[in-house]
Structure 1
Amino acid sequence: MSFSVFDLFTVGIGPSSSHTVGPMRAAATFVERLRSRGQLDQVTRIESQLFGSLGLTGHGHGTVKAIVLGLQGEQPHLVDPIEAERRFEWSQAVGVLELGGTRAIPFDVRKDVVLHLKERLPFHSNAMRFDVYDETGRIFDSREYYSIGGGFVVDEDEARDPAGRPEHDERPIPYPFESGDELVAIATRRGLRISDIVLTNELVSRDEDEVREGLLHIWSVMRECIHNGTHRTGMLPGGLNVRRRSESQRQKLEAAGRTNDPLHALEWVTLAALAVNEENAAGGRVVTAPTNGAAGIIPAVLDYYTRFVPDADDDGVVRFLLTASAIGMLFKKNASISGAEVGCQGEVGSACSMAAAGLAEVLGGTPEQIENAAEIGIEHNLGLTCDPVGGLVQIPCIERNAIASVKAITAARMAIRGDGEHAVSLDTAIKTMRETGADMSHKYKETAQGGLALNVSMVDC
Structure 2
Amino acid sequence: MESISVFDIIKIGIGPSSSHTMGPWNAAELFINEIRKTHKISDVKEVFVEFFGSLAKTGIGHGTDIAGMLGLSGEDFKTIDTTKITQKIEAIKAAKTLKFAAEIELPFIYGHHLILNKEKSLDFHPNGMIFKAVFKDGTEFEQDYYSIGGGFVATEEEALVDELTIRTPYPCHKGKDVQHYCDKLGVSFSDLVYINEESWRTKQQTNEQALAIWQSIKECIYKGITQEGILPGGLKVVRRAAALNRTLLGNKPFKNKDEWYQLVLDTDETFVRISKWVSCFALAVNEENANFGRIITAPTNGASGIIPAVLMYSQTFTEYTGDDKIIRFLLVAGEIGTLFKKNATISAAMGGCQAETGVSSAMAAAGLTEIMGGTPGQVLMAAEIAMEHHLGLTCDPVAGLVQIPCIERNSMGAIKAITAANIAIESDPANARVTLDEVIQTMWETAQSMNGRFKETSEGGLAIAVNIAEC
TM-score, structure 2 normalization: 0.94
Q: Deviations over 1:410-433 (max 9, x none)?
A: 000110011123111000000000
- For the residue of structure 2 that corresponds to 1:59, the secondary structure is helix
Q: Percent identity?
A: 45
CA distance in 2, matches of 1:170, 1:92: 40
Q: Matches of 1:156 and 1:84 in 2, distance apart? A: 31
**Comparing 323-332 and 258-267, the one that deviates more:** 258-267
**What CA deviation, in whole Å up to 9, does each residue of 1:379-420 have, x standing for no partner?**
000000000000000000000000110000000011001112
Matched residue of 1:157: which SS? coil
The AA in structure 1 aligned to 2:383 is A
| Per-residue deviation, 1:175 | 1.1
User: Are 1:12 and 1:78, in contact at CA under 8 Å, matched by a contact in 2?
Assistant: no
| Equivalent-residue separation in structure 2 for 1:258 and 1:337 (angstroms) | 36
Q: For 1:258 and 1:101, locate their aligned partners in 2 and report how far apart those are by CA, in whole Å.
A: 48
The answer to whether the 8 A contact 2:168-2:199 is kept is yes
Q: Distance in 2 between matches of 1:31 and 1:84?
A: 20
- 1:109-141 CA-to-partner distances (Å, cap 9, x unmatched) read 2221111112111110001001122347x4511
Q: Deviations over 1:181-219 (max 9, x none)?
A: 111121122111111111111112211111100011111
For 1:51-450, what aligned pairs fall within 5 Å after superposition? 51-135=52-136, 138=138, 140-158=140-158, 162=159, 166=162, 169-255=164-250, 258-259=267-268, 261-420=270-429, 421-450=431-460
State the SS of the aligned residue for 1:145: strand
Aligned 8 A contact 1:376 1:411 in 2: yes
The 1-side partners of 2:440 and 2:216 are apart by 29
Superimposed CA distance per residue, residues 71-111 of structure 1 (whole angstroms, 9 cap, x where no aligned partner): 01112222221233322221111111000001001111222
* Residue in 1 that maps onto 2:260: none
How far apart are the structure 1 equivalents of 2:383 and 2:200? 27
1:3 corresponding residue in structure 2: 4
The amino acid across from 1:243 in the alignment is V
Letter in 2 for 1:427: D
- Secondary structure, counterpart of 2:274 in structure 1: helix
Contact 1:26 1:153 in 2 (8 A): yes
Letter of the 2:222 partner, please give it. H
For 2:245 and 2:337, how far apart are their aligned partners in 1? Answer: 30
* Aligned AA (1:441): N
State the one-letter code of the partner of 2:34.
Answer: R
The DSSP-based 3-state class of the residue aligned with 2:292 is coil
- Which amino acid is the alignment partner of residue 94 of structure 1? A
- The aligned amino acid for 2:35 is L
| Superposition deviation, residue 170 in structure 1 | 4.1
Unpaired segments ≥5 residues, structure 1: none
The one-letter amino acid paired with 1:369 is Q
Q: C-alpha separation between the residues in 1 aligned to 2:60 and 2:119?
A: 16
CA deviation after TM superposition for structure 1 residue 459, in Å: 7.9
- How far apart, CA to CA, are the structure 2 residues paired with 1:25 and 1:79? 14
Distance (Å, rounded) in 1 between the aligned partners of 2:469 and 2:102? 39
Distance 1:311 1:320, change over 3 A: closer
Residue type at the aligned position of 1:358: G
Q: CA separation in 1, counterparts of 2:108 and 2:99? A: 9
SS of 2:249's equivalent in the other structure is: helix
Contact 1:335–1:431 (8 Å) recurs in 2: yes
Contact 2:399 2:470 in 1 (8 A): no
2:263 counterpart residue number: none
Report the AA paired with residue 237 of structure 2: V
Shift of 1:35: 2.4
**Matched letter for residue 131 of structure 1:** K
Cα distance change on mapping 1:147 and 1:108 into 2, 3 Å: same
Aligned AA (1:395): I
Three-state SS of the structure 1 residue aligned to 2:154 is strand
Partner of 2:254: none
- The structural deviation recorded for 1:154 is 1.2
1:194–1:326 Cα contact (<8 Å) kept? no
2:280 is matched by which residue type in structure 1?
L
Whether contact under 8 Å (2:314, 2:320) holds in the other structure is no
Query: How far off its partner does 1:259 sit?
Result: 4.0
Rounded to whole Å, the distance in 2 between the matches of 1:198 and 1:69 is: 35
Aligned match of 2:255: none
The one-letter amino acid paired with 1:405 is: A
Contact 1:221-1:287 at 8 Å conserved across structures: yes
Quote the offset at 1:165 in angstroms: 5.4
Task: Kindly provide the CA deviation profile for residues 136-182 of structure 1, in whole angstroms up to 9, marking residues without a partner as x.
Answer: 7x451111100000000112421xxx4x6558x44232211221011
Residue identity matched to 1:155: T
Secondary structure in structure 2 of the residue aligned to 1:398: helix
Q: Secondary structure at the match of 1:275?
A: helix
Residue 264 of structure 1: how far off its partner (Å): 1.5
Secondary structure of 1:46's aligned partner: strand
For residue 453 of structure 1, what is the amino acid of its counterpart?
A
CA contact (8 A) 2:51 2:128 kept: yes
- Structure 2 gaps of 5+ residues are 252-265
Q: What is the CA deviation profile of residues 12-32 of structure 1, one whole-angstrom value per residue up to 9, with x for unaligned ones?
A: 210000000010010111112
Aligned residue identity for 1:357? A
Cα distance in 2 for residues equivalent to 1:100 and 1:228 = 31
